Amino acid sequence: MDLFEYQGKQYFARYDIPVSAGGAADTVDEAVTQADKAGYPVVVKAQVQVGGRGKAGGIKLANNADEAREHAGNILGMDIKGHLVKRVWVENASDIAEEYYASFTLDRSAKKHMLMLSKEGGVEIETVAETNPDAILIRHIDPVDGITLEWAIQAAKDNDFPEGSVAGVAEILVKLYRCYTEGDCDLAEINPLILKPTGEIHALDAKVSLDNNAAFRHPEWDEYRATEELDEREQLAREKDLQYIGLDGSVGIIANGAGLAMSTLDVVNQVGGTAANFLDIGGGANADVMAAALEVINYDQNVKSIFVNIFGGITRGEEVAKGIVEALNRVQLKAPIVIRLDGTNAEEGRQILASAGIPESVLQSKPTMLEAARAAVAIANGAGN
């Protein structure tokens, strides 16, 4: 789960990482109140999970309440690369002497944690990696050992940080590492990490991605979950506890297993179609799960056909078939189903479907993944039916 900047800053603050005084606001009036509280000058920042906010006019400096009102009015409701700005973060503006970069993430190749540290902050780290890779210091950390302040000081020194900022940067690295590990982040990034003219080090932005697998030990994440940017289909799928990702195409996808679901998207694409979603119903799909999956797909106005791709390993073909028959009694589908049922007890499953008296216009069965994909795509593209 990716956090908005203001949430990331609140999360940082839990681990004593210094951030600017400020508050979030959903309305212009609230924004002015937060600005008054933070103390002028303030920066009004659009809260969207997409890069390039500044260039799009989503970050503005305000010297007084009138300016704060004007900027908040312009930014709230703004469309930044397809993201609607519903909230702004208003914080006391910082004087900046230097802009640095620091992040912790998991290096999957090394199977260890990884610090990335650079004196060139304020720009995308990917850009720095391309234009000036030597400016980025990369250090691996054994998760069993963790890091110490001495280690962090050495890292800052090794990357030639000015003497005056080494101690401050190192202290933040230790806190950021604690936030990353104890806070169960996939990514904890500060860009820019600033040096103020007064010598203090301070997080001016926050990019935090949380590991959903650790949600059970973080009740404080509930509030982040409430603001997560999901479309209505994804919201519905979450309520039904389904692994669903909304896409733009016209073939609804239901498959068992993440790999097979991904593969189903690929095959639909290969035969000239586009998938409306990714949906993994997991192992042992019963009628309830199948009905829930069909309801979510059915909600999607773009769906013109539904491709159910099941390979029975643990999941048994006859149970899937019973599930579909039951689900069809519960859900009035707007698009026809093409099913490919293979693996354990697939023959029994196909017989159940064949003898259920479901018209071909509602459900057709195909023996292989490719044939089923072609049939589903033909319907979606208007050639079939």
Can you tell me which of 283, 329, 347, 351 binds another protein, judged by CB under 8 A?
A: 283
Binders of another protein among 78-97, rule CB under 8 A? none
Asked if 261 contacts 253 with a C-beta cutoff of 8 angstroms, the reply is: yes
Selection from 171, 113, 111, 163 nearest residue 139 by Cα: 113
User: Which alpha helices (H) appear in 279-384, and where do they start and end?
Assistant: 287-299, 317-330, 346-354, 369-380
Residue among 160 and 220 whose Cβ is closer to another protein: 220
Read off the DSSP letter of residue 133: G
Say whether residue 286 binds another protein (CB under 8 A). Answer: no
Residue among 21 and 110 whose Cβ is closer to another protein: 110
The binding track of 358-377 with respect to another protein, each residue x by CB under 8 A or -, is ----------xxx-------
The SS3 of residue 186 is strand
- Helix 163-182 × helix 149-158 angle, to 10°: 130
Say whether residue 289 binds another protein (CB under 8 A). Answer: no
Rounded Cα distance, 155 and 69, in Å: 43
CA distances from 28 to 47, 56, 70, 76 (A): 14, 19, 8, 8
Q: Which letter, b or e, does each residue of 228-250 get, where b requires 16 or more Cβ atoms within 10 Å of its Cβ?
A: eeeeebbebbeeeebebbbbebb
Say whether residue 261 binds another protein (CB under 8 A). Answer: yes
Q: Which residues are catalytic?
A: 101, 189
Tell me the two tokens of residue 210: 């949380």
The least CB distance from residue 295 to another protein, in Å, is 19
Can you tell me which of 311, 324, 325, 365 binds another protein, judged by CB under 8 A?
A: 311
Residue among 91 and 300 whose Cβ is closer to another protein: 300
Say whether residue 344 binds another protein (CB under 8 A). Answer: yes
Binders of another protein among 162-221, rule CB under 8 A? 181, 184, 186, 211, 213-214, 216-217
Point out which residues bind another protein (CB under 8 A): 106, 108-109, 111-113, 126, 142-144, 181, 184, 186, 211, 213-214, 216-217, 243, 245, 247, 255-263, 265-270, 275, 278, 280, 283, 311-314, 342-344, 368-370
